Structure 1
Amino acid sequence: MEPAPGSVRLAPGVTVPAAAITVTASRAGGPGGQNVNNTSSKAELRLPVAAIIGLSPAAGDRLAMLAGFRLTAGGELLIVCDETRSLRTNREMAMERLRELVLAAQAVPRPRKRTRPGRGAIERRLQNKAATSARKKDRKVGGE
C-alpha cells in the first residue's frame, strides 16, 4: 500500500502527514574544527504521536514505553541526531531512527510462558536450606 501524497511511510500500514514532522537544525558539538561553530548540523525531529496514522492503540502504548525520555510532556516524539557533520545525513538518520522505533512498537511481544523449577533445582534448594539450618543450629550453645 502506497502512502497518501504528502505523507511519509514509517512502517507497513503506518504513515504520518509530512506536515506533522518538523525538523530543526542547531549547532552540534564534537569534532569539526572552527567550522562546527558556523554550521548548524544537528537535526532535531519532532512528531506528535497523535499524528501517526495506522498505529493500533496497543502499539501506541508500546511506542510510548519504548520512546521513554524521547517523549515530551506534550505528547511529541523528539529524536535528535548529531553524529555526522552533514545536516542532511543527520536528518535521514533521525528519520530512520523514527522508523525503527515505530517498527519495534508494532512488534507484538510473545506472551511469557510460565515455567516451574525442575526437580533437581528444588532438591538443591532444600539441601541448602537444611545445611544452613544445621550450621545455625550448631552455633547455639545449648545445641537443642
Structure 2
Amino acid sequence: MATRASTTIPESEVELTAMRAQGAGGQNVNKVSSAIHLRFDIPNSSLAPDHKERLLALADQRITRDGVLIIKAQTHRSQDMNRAEALGRLQELVDSVAEPPRMRRPTKPTYASKRRRLESKNLRSQVKVLRGRVDE
C-alpha cells in the first residue's frame, strides 16, 4: 500500500474546548470535563485551495454551512486521549481529500459484453411473449 504525504495542520488554526461527556459513565462523566469539542474553520485555514474545495464539497454532517468542521471526541476517560483522537480524526479527514480523485476514462463495451446483453434482452423478451394470451 502506498503511503500518502500528510498535510500538517497548525495548532493555531484548531480550536479545542473541553466539556463534560454525554451518556453513561457515572461520577467521572458528571464531574470531569473529558470530552473534546474540536472546531476547524476550513475557509480561513492555511490549507491549499484545492484541499479546501474538496473538504467543503464533502457530504459530511460535521461541516456547517459556514465551513466550520466540528468534531466531538468523548470515547475515552482522559481528556488527553480524547484530544489526540479528535486531532487524529481531523488529520484523517484532511488526508482523505489531499489526493485529487482519479478521473474516469470512459471505455467502450467489448463485443462479447454487447452480445451477452442482447442475448439476455432476447431471453427476457421471449419470457414476456410466452406470458401473453394463448390462442386455440
Taking structure 2 as the reference length, the TM-score comes to: 0.80
Larger % of strand: which? 1
Residue identity in the other structure for 2:94:
V
Q: Secondary structure at the match of 1:25?
A: strand
User: What corresponds to 1:105 in structure 2?
Assistant: 97
Report the identity percentage: 35
Count of residue pairs the alignment pairs up: 130
Do the aligned partners of 1:17 and 1:51 also contact (CA within 8 Å) in 2?
no
- Which residue of 53, 58, 62 corresponds with 1:70? 62
Do the aligned partners of 1:45 and 1:94 also contact (CA within 8 Å) in 2?
yes
Structure 1: 5+ residue runs without aligned partners?
1-10
Separation (CA, whole Å) in 2 of partners of 1:67 and 1:27: 28
Q: CA, structure 1 residues 65+54, in 2 after alignment: closer, same or farther (shift >3 Å)?
A: closer
- Which residue of 98, 116, 122 corresponds with 2:108? 116
Larger % of helix: which? 1
Taking structure 1 as the reference length, the TM-score comes to: 0.76
Structure 2: 5+ residue runs without aligned partners?
1-5
User: What corresponds to 2:40 in structure 1?
Assistant: 47
Separation (CA, whole Å) in 1 of partners of 2:130 and 2:53: 56
Residue identity in the other structure for 2:14:
I
User: What corresponds to 2:75 in structure 1?
Assistant: 83
**Structure with more contact order per residue of length (Cα contacts < 8 Å, sep ≥ 6):** 2
Root-mean-square deviation over aligned CA pairs: 2.2
User: What corresponds to 1:32 in structure 2?
Assistant: 25
Q: Secondary structure at the match of 1:68?
A: coil
